[in-house]
Amino acid sequence: MAQQVQGVVAPGKNEPVRVETIVVPDPGPGEAVVKVQACGVCHTDLHYKQGGINDDFPFLLGHEAAGVVESVGEGVTDVAPGDFVILNWRAVCGNCRACLRGRPQYCFNTHNAAQKMTLTDGTELSPALGIGAFAEKTLVAAGQCTKVDPSVSPAVAGLLGCGVMAGIGAAINTGQVGRGDSVAVIGCGGVGDAAIVGARLAGAARIIAVDIDDRKLETAKSMGATHTVNSRSTDPVEAIRELTGGFGADVVIEAVGRPETYKQAFYARDLAGTVVLVGVPTPEMTLELPLIDVFGRGGSLKSSWYGDCLPSRDFPMLIDLHQQGRIDLGAFVTETIGLGDVEKAFARMHEGDVLRSVVVF
């Protein structure tokens, strides 16, 4: 029996979001219905609302979520009703070239539920990143569910579903930060702060936080930054060089997504260092660099998609580390809110007041 629940819908470009009754079908083959317990508000939800991702309105927003599996469809064996899960937006296929070569983190043949959730008049909803979890219940592909220790707070667990995983993964997976490395993180919002947590976890000796906002630099310190640079008043490339004995950082993580910060990241690394690009640029942005600098510096430029994470490997590990007190994912939850507060949370995000507002049910 299909069920009716409440969910946050973006009806059209730049229109305010609304809490609507939505219809969630029973799970079909390979699908699961999840009772959502918490879902963080991410920039990508705002981009959907603004029409910046595509025009497939109406959207069912929310994609940074944790909850309990309520029911599963035919053929689902990895998760069962009652399991506490974190949802991921990259359920790997297992059959593409990347998967078959043992690199499922680069799978671009990912899948979502085949059936659609709808409004009560039958209008099909497009779930944000194939999830749609600002809803009491949501329908996903079973492969989007990763089972983790149920004793963790759902508000904390859900964060690993997107931004926090992207940041931690940028450091530990893409950047391969090692013990004793110097790491610079440009842009200290939720993603950059998570990169700082990842760098610290990996044993970085120096972690240099760069931002244009002193409030963000204070938070970055509490996350594990050893040095801070306000790039409004100080040239960050020079400052990073100075703080690393004149060399530049072994790993520079860019978590803004703008040409000038991409350029800073490029020049702030040590010769043969690694630049990790996790900030998402807009399609019209370009960057001009002298080729001799690209050629002459060695090292690598890497882009980091979802922190190159493997949910089945990384989610349980990070929850474990959090439960042991070795990382504090709770520090990313600025406030918990209700389903009706998502529009307000977008405004606070825009003001730069929050790391994460998390809807709890």
Distance CA 113, CA 37 (A): 20
Q: Should residue 335 be labelled a site residue for ligand APR when binding is judged by CB under 6 A?
A: no
Q: Should residue 256 be labelled a site residue for ligand APR when binding is judged by CB under 6 A?
A: yes
Q: Should residue 53 be labelled a site residue for ligand APR when binding is judged by CB under 6 A?
A: no
Report DSSP state, residue 340: G
Q: Which of 11, 178, 257, 316 binds ligand APR (CB under 6 A)?
A: 257
- Identify whether the C-beta of residue 356 lies closer than 8 Å to the C-beta of residue 163: yes
Q: Should residue 279 be labelled a site residue for ligand APR when binding is judged by CB under 6 A?
A: yes
Distance CA 115, CA 293 (A): 50
Distance CA 147, CA 313 (A): 11
CA dihedral 90, 151, 171, 49 (to 10 degrees): 50
For ligand APR, which is the closer residue by CB, 149 or 235?
235
Distance CA 123, CA 330 (A): 37
Least distance to Zn ion from the beta carbon of 160, Å?
A: 11
Least distance to ligand APR from the beta carbon of 303, Å?
A: 11
Q: Which of 4, 54, 109, 222 binds Zn ion (CB under 5 A)?
A: 109
b vs e for 11-35, b when ≥16 Cβ sit within 10 Å of the residue's Cβ? eeeeeebebbebbbbebeebbbbbb
Distance CA 286, CA 262 (A): 10
109 interacts with, out of Zn ion, ligand APR, none, CB within 5 to 8 A per kind: Zn ion
Q: Pick from 129, 54, 69, 112: which is nearest to 305 by CA?
A: 129
For ligand APR, which is the closer residue by CB, 36 or 210?
210
Residues 27-66 that bind Zn ion (CB under 5 A): 42, 44
Q: Which of 119, 280, 317, 331 binds ligand APR (CB under 6 A)?
A: 280
Give strand pairing partners of 249: 269
Q: Is the dihedral of CA 285, 45, 225, 229 positive or negative?
A: positive
Q: Binding string, 184-223, against ligand APR, x = CB under 6 A? A: --xxxxxxx-----------------xxxx--x-------
Q: Is the dihedral of CA 151, 152, 154, 157 positive or negative?
A: negative
Query: Which residue of the chain is nearest ligand APR when measured via CB?
Result: 189
For Zn ion, which is the closer residue by CB, 205 or 280?
280
Residues 156-175 that bind ligand APR (CB under 6 A): 163, 166
96 interacts with, out of ligand APR, Zn ion, none, CB within 5 to 8 A per kind: Zn ion
Q: Which of 85, 86, 107, 148 binds Zn ion (CB under 5 A)?
A: 107
b vs e for 184-193, b when ≥16 Cβ sit within 10 Å of the residue's Cβ? bbbbbbbbbb
For ligand APR, which is the closer residue by CB, 136 or 211?
211
Distance CA 28, CA 52 (A): 31
Distance CA 191, CA 265 (A): 16
For Zn ion, which is the closer residue by CB, 250 or 314?
314
Q: Which two tokens stand for residue 283?
A: 């399609």
Least distance to Zn ion from the beta carbon of 99, Å?
A: 3
Least distance to Zn ion from the beta carbon of 106, Å?
A: 8
For Zn ion, which is the closer residue by CB, 44 or 182?
44
For ligand APR, which is the closer residue by CB, 190 or 198?
190
- Identify whether the C-beta of residue 285 lies closer than 8 Å to the C-beta of residue 260: no
Pick the stretch among 1-9, 64-72, 253-261, 321-329 that binds ligand APR (CB under 6 A): 253-261
Applying CB under 5 A, which residues contact Zn ion? 42, 44, 92-93, 96, 99, 107, 109, 162
Applying CB under 6 A, which residues contact ligand APR? 43, 163, 166, 186-192, 210-213, 216, 231, 255-258, 260-261, 278-280, 352
